[in-house]
Amino acid sequence: MKVAFLGTGLMGQPMAQRLLEQGVELIAYNRTPEKLEPLKAAGAEVVEHPHQAIAAADYVILMLTNTAAIYTVLLSDMSSRSVKGKQVIQMGTITPTESREIRDAVVSAGGDYIEAPVLGSRPEAKDGKLIVMVGAQKDQYRYSLDLLKHFGPDPILVGSVGSAAAVKLALNQLIASLTSAFGLSLEFIQRQGIKPDIFMQILRESAVYAPTFDKKLQRMVDGNYANPNFPIKHLVKDTDYFIEEAKEEGLNVSSILGVREILEMTMKMAMQNEDYSSLFEAIKMGEYGES
């Protein structure tokens, strides 16, 4: 098989690198050409225009920032003419509604479309241990399964297109909510003069413990949010996507709207490119921006 990989940013780069390491023939495109250099050095073919990658491949993997980027890269006039007969696999985080709309556009152009968003970050991408969620028909799932297994050992067929995108948003809502809840408790106990290690000892033995708490604890304690696996700006985007879709379903989104305010404050503190645990700094600043 020959795979076109469109979007080699924070997650796309290690995922594309994983395919090369597994012996997959890869042709890569990125809107920022400099980000292609590591893949080129590892043996990937790189191109200046997305339609060149699409036309040369059997499968087209999308790991782009948002829906606007997908339309620009995949469904511009030149690119859409190259989609005919290709299997398009959308692996970024977008809304279920957007995913279905893109499917319709791809099918209209003569291509085939499935979604396969992933849970995990750069270390899991490098090791092929991502959780891969698939929205597709069963025959489409079977057709793409061998390729998807390079990213995670057990890709899960959730349902039709839109269903995997929905699960991904639900999980990312938990990332935002759990991290902010943990940060609030952590700062509260510290201001009460309680050491974090005592708090964590009790928390780890309780039913409310989540492993993500330990993953973010040291970053929060040290105030070190550099070299993120998932930056604040991406969590803001995904939180907005979730709120939009949840409102459409008639859900009460008051809790996540509160988290969204904390994320917005973190962005205003110029931490948009920092690890998402940096929302802890906004929590420490208080409701009115005072520590």
**What was the pLDDT predicted at 1?**
85
98 and 215 housed in the same domain: no
19 and 131 housed in the same domain: yes
**What was the pLDDT predicted at 286?**
81
**What was the pLDDT predicted at 103?**
97
201 and 119 housed in the same domain: no
Residue positions annotated with a catalytic role: 168
189 and 147 housed in the same domain: no
* CA atoms of 44 and 38, how far apart (whole Å): 9
Residues 6+ apart with CB under 8 A from 219: 225, 275, 277, 278, 280
In a domain, 291, yes or no: no
**What was the pLDDT predicted at 77?**
84
- What tokens does 205 get? 């033995």
17 and 134 housed in the same domain: yes
Write the DSSP symbol of residue 246: H
* CA atoms of 193 and 240, how far apart (whole Å): 36
* CA atoms of 198 and 2, how far apart (whole Å): 53
133 and 269 housed in the same domain: no
DSSP codes of every residue in 31-81? SSGGGGHHHHHTT-EE-SSHHHHHHH-SEEEE--SSHHHHHHHHSSHHHHT
**What was the pLDDT predicted at 291?**
52
Q: pLDDT below 70 — which residues of the chain?
A: 288-291
According to DSSP, the residues that pair with 113 across neighbouring strands are: 88
* CA atoms of 88 and 4, how far apart (whole Å): 9
- How many Cβ atoms sit within 10 Å of the Cβ of residue 105? 18
16 and 119 housed in the same domain: yes
CB 116 within 8 A of CB 148: yes
Residue 202 CA, distance from chain mean position: 32
As for how many domains the chain has, the answer is: 2
114 and 217 housed in the same domain: no
Range(s) of the domain holding residue 190: 165-285
Give the model confidence (pLDDT) of 69-119 as tens digits.
999 999 988 888 999 999 999 999 999 999 999 999 999 999 999 999 999
Q: Which long-range contacts (CB under 8 A, 24 or more apart) does 242-246 make?
A: 242/169, 242/170, 242/172, 242/173, 244/95, 245/95, 245/96, 245/97, 245/166, 245/169, 246/173
184 and 273 housed in the same domain: yes
45 and 103 housed in the same domain: yes
**What was the pLDDT predicted at 243?**
98
CATH number of the domain within which 29 lies: 3.40.50.720
**What was the pLDDT predicted at 78?**
84
**What was the pLDDT predicted at 289?**
60
pTM of the model: 0.94
49 and 19 housed in the same domain: yes
Looking from the CA of 187 toward its CB, the CA atoms found within 13 Å total 20
94 and 214 housed in the same domain: no
